[in-house]
Amino acid sequence: MAKILVVDDEQDMRELLEIMLVREGYKVVTAADATKALQRCRKEAFDLIITDLKMPRMDGLTFLREAKKISPASMVILITGYASAETALAAMKEGVYDYLEKDFAIEDLKRIIRNALTNKGEKQEDLLFLKEVGQQVCFGEMIGKSSEMLKIYATIRKIAQTLTNILILGESGTGKELVARAIHENSPRKGMPFVVINCGGIPENLLESELFGHCKGAYTGAYTDKQGLFELAKGGTIFLDEIAELPTFLQVKLLRVVQEKTFRRIGGSEDISVDVRIISATNKNLAEMVKAGKFREDLYYRLNVIPLFLPPLRDRKEDIPILTNYFIEKYSKELGKDVKTISAYAMGLLLEYQFPGNIRELKNIIERSVALETSNIILPDNLIISEGRGGINGGAHFSPGIADGVVNLNEELANCEKNLIEKALKQANGSKSKAAELLGITYDSLHYRCEKLGVSA
């Protein structure tokens, strides 16, 4: 039995809500003002709080902030006679589940309460799951324990159980295929085929045959019948990467598959039924492509039932050390090296870099560094950052000399840093803002380093 706290300074409203909620089978506690309500919150936990907005001494939003400190898991519905867009926005920012005007319909309130309590159960499950995975650094083949990644793990766990089409959005190199695979592996279709196709990596004249297959004699060179990837994925999941690159004539055929679950091979006359879950991905803005007439609107909405956005690596930098250590171990084994870790200074360079190529770029940097390293630790002299990506050629690459077996590491690192800054300023024609961008650091950080090292711009 859910326990609900009703807070309202109007006795008639308190009594109305209490009678209605008791009839619905809820346990109800009422309070005439926010102070008394907070006292009750300190004594017992409530699944749901229904509060008025305008109350003497303490308004509903202030009460909400205080109540959330005591009972963060409680869902909150706000009732107000002074509804406005500003009120709604302020309420949502404070964590209100929903809000109603005081002339609400009873059935509307009942429905919102049911939904809020259902949502609370899902929220508690998500919190428990996040607590569990928060101690880990992996989920499937994905690596990271930043808050952004933990939210993605929880979302994957939830949407994997549905049959709904999913559109994964994110920059190149953020791991969209790994997310699609995790969704498949956590779904009821686990154990069935997981088929991947890059819509931008196959010539247009071959893509239709790859997707849908062909019949013998359909065109020159079609000597036998061929199954397409949709047939091969039967019962499982098909991952359409770079969906924005799909030619218009194939968008029409894909729409039919999505809507009717049938298609025809090239040169075929029979409809083939197929049961597949479609997960698509793109690094482009499909909504803008729809407006520009470059992507079918009906197909866009069919594929984008559940959108899932992957943050770029620069927005979850706390995952960089975890990923770096993972790649060091991976490539040390593959390349037969004994590299164990990375120096603090080299890690600092990685943490300051913006990674336009995201995880894929970090992986390449570490693979190259492990291959070049002759000791058991990656030092800055073998760390090449942003080569060929609009940054400074050679990135953090330098090679200090060692005289008589002795080297002043701090001096060499300072010289390397000064050299890189001077190169960046030269490449940026003296612009500190542009140089800071090339180095992947802030303007203030560059200004400080210039003063410390005696670099003039």
| Top mean-pLDDT range of 51-60, 150-159, 301-310 | 301-310
161-175, 179-193, 346-360, 387-401: the lowest-pLDDT one: 387-401
Angle CA 434–436–437, to nearest 5: 65
CATH number corresponding to 3-120: 3.40.50.2300
How far apart, in whole angstroms, are the C-alpha atoms of residue 275 and residue 413? 59
CATH number corresponding to 316-453: 1.10.8.60
Q: What's the predicted TM-score (pTM) here?
A: 0.59
% of the chain residues with pLDDT over 70: 85
CATH code 1.10.8.60 region(s) in the chain: 316-453
Q: What is the pLDDT of residues 84-137, one digit of tens each?
A: 555 655 666 666 777 777 778 888 888 888 888 877 555 555 555 555 555 555
Sign of CA dihedral 163, 164, 170, 172: positive
Give the per-residue pLDDT at 390: 35
Query: pLDDT at residue 189 above 80?
Result: yes
Ramachandran sector of residue 285 (left: φ over 0; alpha: ψ -120 to 50; beta: rest): beta
How far apart, in whole angstroms, are the C-alpha atoms of residue 130 and residue 136? 10
Query: pLDDT at residue 388 above 80?
Result: no
Q: What is the pLDDT of residues 211-255, one digit of tens each?
A: 988 888 777 777 788 888 999 999 999 999 999 999 988 999 999
Give the per-residue pLDDT at 398: 42
**Superfamily (CATH) of domain 142-311:** P-loop containing nucleotide triphosphate hydrolases (3.40.50.300)
Answer whether 133's CB lies under 8 Å from 140's CB: no
Query: pLDDT at residue 363 above 50?
Result: yes
CATH code 3.40.50.300 region(s) in the chain: 142-311
Which residue has better confidence, 88 or 166?
A: 166
Q: What is the pLDDT of residues 28-60, one digit of tens each?
A: 999 998 999 999 999 888 889 998 888 888 888
DSSP line for 201-264? SS-HHHHHHHHHEE-TTSSTT--S-EE-HHHHTTTSEEEEETGGGS-HHHHHHHHHHHHHSEE-
Across the chain, mean pLDDT equals 82
Answer whether 180's CB lies under 8 Å from 239's CB: yes
Measured from the Cβ of residue 90, the count of other Cβ atoms closer than 10 Å reads 16
Give the per-residue pLDDT at 185: 92
CATH code 3.40.50.2300 region(s) in the chain: 3-120
How far apart, in whole angstroms, are the C-alpha atoms of residue 39 and residue 67? 10
10-14, 78-82, 239-243, 405-409: the lowest-pLDDT one: 405-409
% of the chain residues with pLDDT over 90: 28
Query: pLDDT at residue 384 above 90?
Result: no
Start-to-end CA distance of the chain, whole Å, equals 70
